[in-house]
Amino acid sequence: MRPDQRAGRLGVGTIGAGRVGAVLASALAGAGHALTGISAVSDASRERAAAMLPDLPVLGVPEIVERSELVLLAVPGDELSGLVEGLASAGAWRPGQLVVHTSARHGIAVLEPAMRAGAIPLAIHPAMSFTGTSVDLGRLAGTWFAVTAPAPVLPIGQALVVEMGGEPFVVAEEDRPAYAEAVDTAVSFSSAIVDQATGILERIGMPRAGAVLAPLVRSAVENALARHDPGPTVDGTATIDGADDDRPSGGAS
């Protein structure tokens, strides 16, 4: 059976054609979901949408919400609350509509205005640094996604992650700020250290400093991560911070 013939196919609209939104929309399309549209304001986001999703119409936010069974909110975390509340004030959200955001630091509380209208909230954050290109689609395979959702719909969030090729793990609502801090620390410190080290080598005239340091940095990071990775348990399931990977069989930042 082809992906577009399977049960559970959703109409997916994406708000935000940043590096994360365009890639996840493409991944969901690859899993057989039907894309309804994407919003893109800046020239860069329009170019990215055209490159990643060439046949997808660029639409206004209200029209995307109206057309979609699943709305992917791939916008900066500090814009999320105002966007959700504004759409609620306009009466845009519908009962049973899936609303998914990709912010690391927010759980589902930020989606409360949509929940009041009967929408189903999901917070799904891929723990990956995105380029906003097709390269990211391959990198999604095996990437861990933090999932926060009400218990009855948690399997939906986990299934979406698996469909995108990722590995879901559950983060409690109250733990999202700590999770976001860990993500920010890993990204900012690794970037700063690489910039500092390459800068030192460039000042002494070394060509291709990044290429020289790449094997060293990768191996050092892999060794450090290995010290904190428990690996598979005896029954073959993977764990993160003691949480079982109980994904269903069958994934902004």
Q: How many domains does the chain have?
A: 2
Has residue 248 been placed in a domain? no
Categorize the per-residue pLDDT at 231 as very low, low, confident or very high, splitting at 50, 70 and 90.
Answer: low
Average pLDDT for 211-234:
76
Do both 128 and 157 map to the same domain?
Answer: yes
Full residue range of the structural domain in which residue 126 is found: 3-175
Do both 62 and 171 map to the same domain?
Answer: yes
Q: Which pLDDT tens digit goes with each residue over 165-198?
A: 999 999 999 999 999 999 999 888 888 888 999 9
Do both 159 and 189 map to the same domain?
Answer: no
Categorize the per-residue pLDDT at 249 as very low, low, confident or very high, splitting at 50, 70 and 90.
Answer: very low
Do both 86 and 150 map to the same domain?
Answer: yes
Do both 133 and 233 map to the same domain?
Answer: no
pLDDT at 242 over 60: no
**Bridge partner list, 35:** 12
Q: Which pLDDT tens digit goes with each residue over 88-120?
A: 999 999 999 999 999 999 999 999 999 999 999
DSSP string, 114-166: HHHTTPEEEEEEE-S---SSTHHHHHTTT-EEEEE--GGGHHHHHHHHHHTT-
Has residue 247 been placed in a domain? no
Do both 21 and 91 map to the same domain?
Answer: yes
What pLDDT sits at residue 230? 65
Do both 59 and 145 map to the same domain?
Answer: yes
Has residue 242 been placed in a domain? no
Do both 183 and 100 map to the same domain?
Answer: no
Has residue 107 been placed in a domain? yes
For the ranges 20-29, 78-87, 191-200, the lowest mean pLDDT is seen at: 191-200
